[in-house]
A and B are shown apart, each in its own frame.
Chain A
Amino acid sequence: MSEPTVPEGGAAAAAGDRAAAAAGDRGAAAAGDGETQPNGAAGLAPAPANSAAAAAAAPRLAAVLLGVACVAWTATPLLHTGWGGTALVVSIIAVTSGALRLALSEVPQPEDEYFLSAPVRAWLAFLAALRALPWEEIGVVALIWLEVQHPSRPLHTAALGAGLVAYVLAVHIGESGAATPELFRREWKVLVAGACLLALGAGLAMLPAAGPSAGSALLRVLAAVAVVAAAVLVVPT
């Protein structure tokens, strides 16, 4: 059984919209404001279209802004040595493509792909490339790689960590349509514990090493890993 060609039912939603438009008021209430229709919502008054569109666009816009902020935060000061430039370019491409993927996620894929013109085929190939590659993962790796190129700056790295987690969460909310208040109500303890560990990691990095050898640095890393592992094991579900 083939999977949907558009992530999270974008084409399906668009088809629903088309059908609703064709059927007049028969299915417009169900299909007009996107593909996600919670069960039992039929008796509720439909939300205005503008506010629904704004609610859907806000997490995506937040994801884009967080991605841009992470890139700018990590890139300063600019590095002209090593792989810094490459990592910066890769991260910019990844964040831009991820933003485009989110923005174009509801563009439908045509059912019949025969006898299409060259521009349409190019557009479809572009959409397929956007949807095929894991741009957010590439961006995260590139940003960490870029941060590694810089000399040690623990507080800066901790802020980047917070930004990256926020970026990943915003992308998740933007593409899944998950309710933001409910998500944070469910995971606030974990997020607070993560922020504490983030600060702990930064503080640990700022402590002077016991000795100048490489082994002492590794021991500090292992200590941080042990703390994180312990936190993961006891974190409330």
Chain B
Amino acid sequence: MPSVIPNAPGSLHSVASSAVLAEQADVSWRPSRHARRLLTLAAAGLLAATIVRRPEFVGLAAPALLLLGAARPARPPRVGVRVGVTATRLYEEELAAVDVAIADDQFDARWVLQAGRGIEPASATAVSGAAARFTFTVPRWGRRQVGTVALVLHDRWRLIEGRVSFKLPAVDCYPQPALQRTRVVLSRLPNRLGEHSARVPGEGTEFTGVREYVPGDRQRAINWPASTRRGRLQVNTFAAERSQDVVLLVDATSDVGEPGTSALDLGLRGAAGAARAYLDARDRVGVIMYQWGGAQWLAPSLGRRQVYKIIDAMLAADAGWARGAVFSRLPRAALPPGALVVAFSPLIDQRFVEALRDMRERGFSLIVVDVLNTEPPTRYSYADVVARRIWRMEQQAIRFSLRELGVPLVRWDGEAPLDLPLAPYTRRPLVVRR
């Protein structure tokens, strides 16, 4: 199997791929079906002629023998092939492509893509030609094997065929970020420069009021109309602009619902969308993944790269699954004091709910996005109906208890933008209560 090498500039057929398999690949040659049929016809005719001693059967075998003898195909043991994938990291439903090309043009080449599990071909999966492109999408997040590409070579007479097979590299599929344009902003922000208007005066751009001039104020801040009216110098005051720490808390303990729209799917998409929205506002964003094996976390940080770090952390957390682990208190490094915590959870695991209560009692400002969008299956026996009602009541009790603690709880179905359920909390700053 050829190894993965970086894509060389000026590559064959200008294949723009991030990772390219380019090697002299070994070809295994064998007679084609057509050749086997001709051989059978010739052999049967000659055998019949010899056994029954009738020369007309030799004539019967002659055309097949001539067709076989006319072809003198070359069988190179190796051929130069390039196979590349345009992207090894992509979002759900994003189009990617596998580019394939063969350097040798003396053979008729046929490429067949055998897509791996979780890979949805978006074009023809069998193409003839010296170069080809197969497009595909990944419907659901996770690490996916793209599959294999088989190359079948035929000579001009189609009497021999050679086969080469390439295993394609795996791709990391990121959850499609939910749409979020507005942000929840805390009423009390840390003393750090940012883009959110704080309640304290500062050097921002948002006007907050007028006060009397004191020595040291900048001359450009003087409000001349107000100074004329009052007879004393007045200056404009502005709100300070601060940033906040945001910690996204994703509950990976309960993945319930249909694959593709399960609670974990919604949680990851919502967290990815929130990470992007807060990082766009220059906030520091981190993530904590709650799962059976405990909690994995990424400390809050700034920058565009942090989005990918957060998503990578979420995908890596999905792989760790260990039964029997218990939750402990969240690590302090992952939770800066005064941070806004946005939790995405179906609120099914009681330990996660207890962790939320614990965080609220420690004074963190929490918002819980409820991503539960399924219920136990409906049956018609009385016991099942009662069990379902009890389950619903338990769920209502969990949500009621969180609201009683002052934890805002919104429900998100995964279809609408996240702005919609969060609207009551994005219109004005979220009051921090200790």
Contact = CB atoms under 8 A, between A and B. Distances in A.
19 contacts: A3-B163, A19-B120, A20-B124, A30-B123, A31-B125, A35-B127, A40-B129, A134-B33, A140-B37, A158-B60, A190-B63, A198-B60, A198-B63, A200-B59, A201-B62, A217-B53, A224-B58, A225-B49, A235-B70
A140 B66 contact: no
Interface string A12-41: 110111011011001100110001111110
B281 to A, nearest CB: 35
A38 B37 contact: no
B65 interface: yes
A148 B52 contact: yes
Given A16-B124, A175-B33, A221-B50, A144 B113 contact: no
B67 interface: yes
Contacts of B173: none
A202 B59 contact: yes
Nearest to B113: A12
Interface string A176-191: 1010000000110011
B34 interface: yes
A198 B57 CA distance: 9
A236 B54 contact: no
B222 interface: no
A198 to B, nearest CB: 5
Interface stretch (B130-138, B312-320, B413-421): B130-138
A85 interface: no
Interface in B84-135: 95, 110, 112-115, 120-132, 135
B56 A168 contact: no
Nearest to A151: B54
A186 B148 CA distance: 34
A195 B68 CA distance: 15
Given A161-B63, A204-B59, A228-B65, A39 B126 contact: no
Nearest to B59: A201
B126 A35 contact: yes
B397 interface: no
A134 B41 CA distance: 13
A22 B123 CA distance: 10
A83 to B, nearest CB: 13
B304 interface: no
> Which one of B113, B128, B156 has the greatest number of beta carbons of chain A within 10 Å?
B128
Contacts of B58: 201, 221, 224-225, 228
Contacts of B130: 39
Interface residues on A, range: 35 or more
A205 B55 contact: yes
Interface in B225-273: none
A187 B127 contact: no
Counting chain A CB atoms within 10 Å of each CB, the highest count among B49, B51, B156 belongs to B49
A27 B113 CA distance: 15
A206 B64 CA distance: 22
Given A12-B112, A148-B48, A164-B41, A221 B60 contact: no
A13 B60 contact: no
Given A161-B62, A187-B70, 9 more contacts: A26-B123, A36-B110, A37-B128, A137-B37, A152-B54, A194-B62, A197-B59, A221-B49, A224-B58
A231 B68 CA distance: 12
Contact of A13 (B49, B71, B125, B135): B125
Interface in A118-169: 134, 136-137, 140-141, 144-145, 147-148, 152, 154, 157-158, 160-162, 164-165, 168
B142 interface: no
A89 interface: no
Given A158-B56, A187-B70, A237-B72, A9 B126 contact: yes
Counting chain B residues whose Cβ lies within 8 A of the other chain, the interface size class is: 35 or more
B277 interface: no
Contacts of B34: 168, 172, 176
Interface string A213-237: 0100110110111001101110111
B45 interface: yes
B44 interface: yes
A54 interface: no
Contact of A204 (B55, B127, B129): B55
Nearest to B95: A26
Contacts of A175: 33
B351 interface: no
A99 interface: no
Nearest to B46: A225
Contacts of B67: 165, 187, 190-191, 194
B166 to A, nearest CB: 9
A46 interface: no
Contact of A221 (B36, B41, B53, B68): B53
Contact of B127 (A20, A36, A145, A195): A36
A220 B70 contact: no
A210 interface: no
Nearest to A165: B63
Contacts of B59: 157-158, 161, 197-202, 204-205, 224, 228
A195 B63 contact: yes
B158 interface: yes
Nearest to A42: B133
A172 B158 contact: yes
B44 A16 contact: no
Contacts of B167: 1
Residue from A30, A158, A162, A175 having most chain B Cβ neighbours under 10 A: A30
B145 interface: no
